[in-house]
Amino acid sequence: MLSANKLKKNILQILKLQGYKVKSNGFFLKNEERDTKRQAHYIAKAERMLDNESLIIDNSEIIKQFMVDGKDLNVAKIDPILVEVQPGTKWETLFRWWNLVWWSLPYEKSYGRQMRFVLWDRYHKAPMGLIGLQSPILSWGVRDQYLGIGATDRDFWINQSLNAQRLGALPPYNNLLGGKLVAAMMSTDYVRRKFKEKYAKIKTLMKDRSIPADLLFITTTGAYGKSCVYSRFKMNGVDIAKFLGYTKGTGSFHIPNFLYEDLVLYLEKKNLDVQRGYGNGPSRKIRLIYQAMNLLGFKNGISHSIKRSVYLFPFAKNINEVINKGEKPKWAKRSQVEVANFWKQRWAIPRAESDKRYLEFSKEKFLLETLEEFKKYKRVYKKLKSL
């Protein structure tokens, strides 16, 4: 096991590699630029990628079969439909591969209730985007204040919601404002219906009670500040997403898993409780990191300094009245066909006419660059673990 001094030295080196400046008892990002924030996520993404090396490498050719070059994309004929991901299917392979590879914000393990969807283009036979939903955190100030949710009934309302951990478009659709389509598709009746089918007979884990299987709302966060995808996001004059505010900038991604295990061993040596496992969830990990970092002299051990914008997608038009006045939900009622047609006419076709960048996407080039980047991740991570 590492000594306290060696452990602290390793923490300092890893934080600096991620773009943090370190002072006597804390650390902070050197600036608020997007590239700086991306750098802060680099090690975490490398770790997730390397943990899934065989999935990424072995399935590259399969992924290639279900990709479309930008020059072959007929925008007017795009035909989107949501497909719920089931274990052991090609949809799961597509979801997991893209979830790991495409975003700079690293994949995190999901907890609690989970639903995954691939947005599929039936005409071009290619994935357009991903939706990864999971149980939200129980207490979240910016959300609870907006909705008027109190401590006594919090679990009742939160169990009728989900949080989108992954939400976005894939190339070349991303250059056609595909992110707006993916987000709007998440707000359709199809997703709400699938939630009801899956959780109608499930009891809550904490209080072992039945709660209505009504999906009242979904929350998500913008990775690097306020999102241009969700801002001023309306359909037929109705807001699809509502901006609620910002997170506090706390979490654990800046502490790689191998370093986390060293911190747990450090706490164990001090005879402190480090129990983990089923039922503890991500909050337990954050508490252990905070405790160990604090003992090592870091007063802001779980503050990664990246405040994310928070958005709410209400399925009920009267969501506040449902929660605070006991009204019955007035559902927004959006079909996939309606959303797809609106997106094509309002955003995709005009963007294709004014911005030709989508034509530049090459699946051959993308896969080559992805594999080269993977080799780079291996070199960086090997160097880190040798500290």
pLDDT digits (tens, 9 = 90+) for 49-94: 999 999 999 999 999 999 999 999 999 999 999 999 999 999 999 9
Token reading at 75 = 């925008």
> Three-state DSSP class for 228?
coil
Residue 207 lies in a domain: no
Length of the chain: 387
Contact 179, 282 (CB under 8 A): no
- Output the CA–CA distances (angstroms, integers) from residue 264 to 107, 260, 268, 294, 383, in the order listed: 22, 6, 6, 13, 22
Alpha carbon of residue 380 to chain centroid: 24
Residue 322 lies in a domain: no
Torsion of CA 355, 359, 362, 363, to 10 degrees: 90
Range(s) of the domain holding residue 132 = 31-199+335-385
pLDDT computed for residue 281 by the predictor? 56
Tokens 């399935």 correspond to what residue? Answer: 59
Residue 283 lies in a domain: no
**Within the chain, which residues score under 50 in pLDDT?**
278-279
Token reading at 301 = 């051990």
Residue 16 lies in a domain: no
Residue 25 lies in a domain: no
| CB-based contacts of 262-266 (< 8 A; 24+ apart in sequence) | 262/1, 262/2, 262/7, 262/10, 263/7, 263/288, 263/289, 263/292, 263/293, 264/288, 264/292, 265/1, 265/2, 266/1, 266/2, 266/4, 266/7, 266/292, 266/295, 266/296
pLDDT computed for residue 119 by the predictor? 98
pLDDT computed for residue 278 by the predictor? 46
Residue 299 lies in a domain: no
Contact 15, 288 (CB under 8 A): no
Burial-class residue 117 by CB neighbours within 10 Å (0-12, 13-18, 19+). buried
Residue 339 lies in a domain: yes
Structurally, how many domains does the chain consist of?
1
Residue 227 lies in a domain: no
Token reading at 260 = 């986390």
